[in-house]
Amino acid sequence: MSRAHAVIRRYKTCAEVMKHGVEIFVVGDPAGARLNAAARRLARTVSENDSHVWGDLLNAANALRWRRMTQPQPRGFHPAITEAGDAVVREARVLRGAVADEVLLEEIAAAAQDVCQTDSPVGAELRRSIEEADPSICAVVASSHRARAGMQEWLASLAVPVLLPGELGAVDERIEQLYVVGPPFFFPPSLVTAPATDELTFLMPAWFGHRAIPTSRFADQADGAMKAKVRERAVGDLSEPESFVSNDEPLEETYYPQPMWRGRTSGDREPALDEAEAWKVLLAGNLAIWLDDGDRIRTLDPRQPAGERVTYAAVGDVVPGTYLVLRNGETERGAMYEAALHLMGSQAEAIKATQCGWKAALEARLASKGAVASIAELRARGVRSAARVRAWTEPTLISPKHERDLVLLLEWLGLAVEPSHQNAMALRRAVYRASADLREELEDAVSRAGLAALERDGHMSLEIEREGFRSMVVARVQARSPYTEIVPRPHVRAPFSDRSGKWLE
């Protein structure tokens, strides 16, 4: 499809959606409604008492409620809901005797068990609607990678594509009907303002009260902004338990599992030479890394064809949903440095000597002048990446990203440019060769692995034969901290066990 054809088609779909409106199937879900009422009571208890005692139970309950709402496939295709339900029961049991409201504990545990023992009516309505409309013209939109993986397996017999919101630009022209699983509140406005199909239907449980269609932030100021009509259709048993929390309470944000950041603890001090500023990145599989401001990090893109999946991403582009390829328990950089030296053969010792020489001189200069003054002087000389001067002392970091920066740095240190410059460039080229070899082995390992399982679970191990790289892990980014911490430099980019992101999608 040409770009012009795609634009024309999008205008036509906009006209159709404006004409016919957006449909919302509000599906009765008594078991989910019971859980929702108990979870809202729990959220209010936490809010009123400012207590962290309930925190683990609230996180588990929110995860269960979120999965009930966005992953409506039957239990046989849904181990994640059993996992979350068991966690709710377990955390409620832990709190018995430690909190006063035992009735709430019993209710939320019973509600969790009820949810795990009943299939979501939203799923039944979704499948019925697809079969009635004709599966060949339908597609489903999921809220997350995990939700998509579960629904893909369940709907495989109907050959219905399951997509994420960001993938709708590639919707086949034969698709006329989109079914969006979850409340409009949790999806980008572009689903409605730039629709990919003529017909758009949201399916959501009746117990979620926020049903407004999202609009662009500029809609109120724009002339002719798209504001589609909404047609609600109630399905099934809409009865709900008595609520102890008003539906007017602004609690919508509690439905989506959120990371719990504690705030920066490093203060405003300057990192030492053996320390780095780094963001904490939570990963699937109960892992995390400290991510510094280096130039790039190895990633995997499951959407690409075989042979093109393993690549690099800029550190600034590491966001939730990115898959990182990491050396289990250690950084990749050290092993890659040793592999590059091995490729250099007889030149290795001379290269190591010049690398150690200018790095030692840099450490001494930083110790005498301080990092702030050194950065200012380097910037005055035209060094583009001067802010990373502390990182350049690390033995396995070969040189500044820009070749000219290394030349200027050596001159600032009062050292001869050669042979240090040439040796660093030769070592960098060797690292590129070693990295390319590793990439080919990783591509082979990925081709043998189950990418469907990666999308469902968010992580997987890659076993390759290369010495020093036999245990690699691919893990999806769940969240990235909004602030940096000062951490020991050897800890940067080395995956470690961390359960903070356990319930994130």
Per-residue pLDDT reduced to its tens digit, 143-199: 988 899 889 999 999 999 999 988 887 788 888 999 999 999 889 888 888 888 888
Q: Residue 322 — very low, low, confident or very high, per pLDDT cuts 50/70/90? A: very high
Between the alpha carbon of residue 200 and those of residues 114, 143, 181, 302, the distances in Å are 31, 15, 11, 27
Quick one: pLDDT at residue 251? 45
Quick one: pLDDT at residue 422? 95
User: Which positions ≥6 away from 274 have C-beta within 8 Å?
Assistant: 488, 489, 490
Between the alpha carbon of residue 300 and those of residues 256, 335, 444, 504, the distances in Å are 26, 19, 13, 20
Q: Give the mean model confidence (pLDDT) for residues 124-149.
A: 93
Q: Residue 134 — very low, low, confident or very high, per pLDDT cuts 50/70/90? A: very high
Quick one: pLDDT at residue 252? 47
Quick one: pLDDT at residue 243? 64
Q: What is the pLDDT of residues 428-460, one digit of tens each?
A: 999 999 888 888 888 888 888 878 888 888 899
Q: Residue 261 — very low, low, confident or very high, per pLDDT cuts 50/70/90? A: confident
Quick one: pLDDT at residue 463? 79
pLDDT of 416 over the 90 cut: yes
* pTM of the entire predicted model: 0.74
Residue for token pair 């240190």: 413
| Both tokens assigned to 483 | 């602030």
Rounded Cα–Cα distance for residues 394 and 396 (Å): 6
Quick one: pLDDT at residue 471? 76
pLDDT of 52 over the 70 cut: yes
Q: Give the mean model confidence (pLDDT) for residues 97-121.
A: 92
The answer to which of 84-93, 252-261, 262-271 has the lowest mean pLDDT is 252-261
Q: Give the mean model confidence (pLDDT) for residues 70-91.
A: 91
pLDDT of 401 over the 80 cut: yes
- Of 165, 167, 173, whose CA–CA distance to 1 is shortest? 173
pLDDT of 277 over the 60 cut: yes
Quick one: pLDDT at residue 145? 87
Torsion angles phi and psi, residue 219, rounded to 5: -60, -40
Quick one: pLDDT at residue 219? 52
Rounded Cα–Cα distance for residues 136 and 160 (Å): 7
Q: Give the mean model confidence (pLDDT) for residues 396-407.
A: 91
Mean pLDDT over the full length of the chain: 86
CA atoms within 13 A on the CB side of 288: 18
Position with higher pLDDT, 49 vs 251: 49
Q: Residue 250 — very low, low, confident or very high, per pLDDT cuts 50/70/90? A: very low
Quick one: pLDDT at residue 226? 59
Q: Give the mean model confidence (pLDDT) for residues 480-505.
A: 87
Burial 131-144 (b: 16+ CB within 10 A, else e): eeeebebbbbbbbb
Percent of the chain surpassing pLDDT 70 = 91
Quick one: pLDDT at residue 69? 93
Position with higher pLDDT, 278 vs 49: 278
| Both tokens assigned to 236 | 């099934």
- Of 43, 47, 57, whose CA–CA distance to 109 is shortest? 57
Give the total residue count for the chain.
Answer: 505
Q: Rg for the chain (alpha carbons), in Å?
A: 27
Torsion angles phi and psi, residue 326, rounded to 5: -130, 155
CB 474 within 8 A of CB 300: yes
Cα 13 to chain center, whole Å? 30
Domain ranges of the chain: 1-216+226-258, 275-336+431-497, 345-423
